[in-house]
Amino acid sequence: MKLFTAISMEIKGLRIYRMQLFISLILIPFSYAFVVLLSSPKSGEGIGFIFSGMIVASLVGSYISLLSMRVSNIMKPSVLELYAALPVNTGCVVVAQMIVYTLFVLPQLILCAAIAAFNSETIMAGRFIFGIILSIYGVAVLGASIGALIRNPFKAQGIISLISWILLLVSPTYYSTTDLGIIYKVILLVNPVTHFLNIVRSGLGYSGLTSYVNSLIYVLIMSVLLTNYLRIKVQRMFMLEKF
């Protein structure tokens, strides 16, 4: 019941951010895809590759660009003070925010997944769906953790935009890695987005920079560590203490 109320508060609370939502969730990912499609071969494989990349790009837009901002706002001292005497804990509010941003990104995620699947020659449905679900969780927990780490929405506005930009630029979201140099390939492998892409695209038969298992291990370890970090941050006692 409390979670449901917190979700409802978050959805209503986002009314004043409609334009920001539209830009981060629709305009930027689709405009990138549009530009890339204009300059790349119009084969089904190419379209499948771009739209599978858009699945992860949409998650980055939703969770890293938006959710992390909301979480960083929650962790602000004055907001923590406001919530301190409300009958809801910070953990519940953060989970509600993760659910809300998942609901917001879901329509375009389904659309991109359908287009990618339709244009790909190979489909391993189970692996593809599992990859998307794991990416939803992994990017969500990454975004929330970034917000919990920054704890200042004013600083977050600049830092988070930069992080989103780097994550998408330094990952094979919209480009192939075939002709890249070894150093650049190593740099790409540090980026978690590369591994989310690898897991999602593996279900469509695309091979990545590293094996599916390697990416799976990377994503699972990162998700477990970040979940634990986030849990400690939002359930911490004496939240205004500097530790």
Partner 1 sequence: MSRKKESQVTISVKNLTKIYPNGKKANDSLDIQVNTGETIGIIGPNGAGKTTLVRQMLGLLKPSEGYIEILGKNIAREPKSVKGKVGYVPQYPLSFPSLTVKELITAVMKLSGKESINERSKQIIEMVGLKGMEKNKGYQLSSGSLKLLLMATALVQETKLLILDEPTSMVDIVNRNRIRQILKSLKEQGNSIFLATHDMNEAKELCDKIYIILQGKIIAFGSPEKISTLIKSPTEVQFVSPDLEKLKVFLESKKIKATFRENVTMISFPELSETIKFLAELEEGPGISYIRLESPSFEKAVFNILERRS
* Phi then psi dihedrals of residue 80, to 5 deg: -60, -35
79 binds partner 1 (CB under 8 A): yes
In this structure, is the dihedral angle defined by the CA atoms of residues 177, 178, 181 and 183, taken in order, positive or negative? positive
Of these, 26, 80, 111, 117, which contacts partner 1 (CB under 8 A)? 80
Total of residues contacting partner 1 (CB under 8 A): 30
Burial of 198 (0-12, 13-18, 19+ CB in 10 A): buried
Query: According to the binding rule CB under 8 A, does residue 241 interact with partner 1?
Result: yes
Q: Which stretch binds partner 1 (CB under 8 A): 33-41, 79-87, 102-110, 119-127?
A: 79-87
Token code pair at residue 119 = 């244009």
Can residue 126 be called a binding residue for partner 1 (CB under 8 A)? Answer: no
Name the nearest CA neighbour of 92 among 2, 189, 208.
2
Is 178 an interacting residue with respect to partner 1 (CB under 8 A)?
Answer: no
Our finding on whether 238 is near partner 1 (CB under 8 A) is yes
Exposed/middle/buried for 214, CB within 10 Å: 0-12, 13-18, 19+? middle
- Considering only 1, 38, 162, 183, the residue that binds partner 1 (CB under 8 A) is 1
Residue 124 sits in the site that holds partner 1 (CB under 8 A): no
Q: Does 121 bind partner 1 (CB under 8 A)?
A: no
Min dist. Cβ of residue 96 to partner 1 (A): 11
Cα(240)–Cα(243) distance, integer angstroms = 9
- The whole-angstrom separation of Cα 224 and Cα 195 is 15
DSSP string, 162-203: HHHHHHHHTTTTSS-STT--HHHHHHHHHSHHHHHHHHHHHT
Interface with partner 1, residue 2, by CB under 8 A? yes
The yes or no reply on residue 157 touching partner 1 (CB under 8 A) is no
Q: Does 19 bind partner 1 (CB under 8 A)?
A: no
Query: Is 232 among the residues that bind partner 1 (CB under 8 A)?
Result: no
Buried b (16+ CB within 10 A) or exposed e, 155-185: ebeeebeebbeebbeebbbbeebeeeeeeee
5 touching partner 1, by CB under 8 A: yes
Does 89 engage in binding with partner 1 (CB under 8 A)?
A: yes
Candidate list 38, 85, 182, 183; residue touching partner 1; CB under 8 A? 85
Among 27, 35, 84, 124, binds partner 1 (CB under 8 A): 84
Asked if 53 contacts 172 with a C-beta cutoff of 8 angstroms, the reply is yes
99 binds partner 1 (CB under 8 A): no
Residues that bind partner 1 (CB under 8 A): 1-2, 5-6, 8-9, 12-17, 77-82, 84-89, 237-242
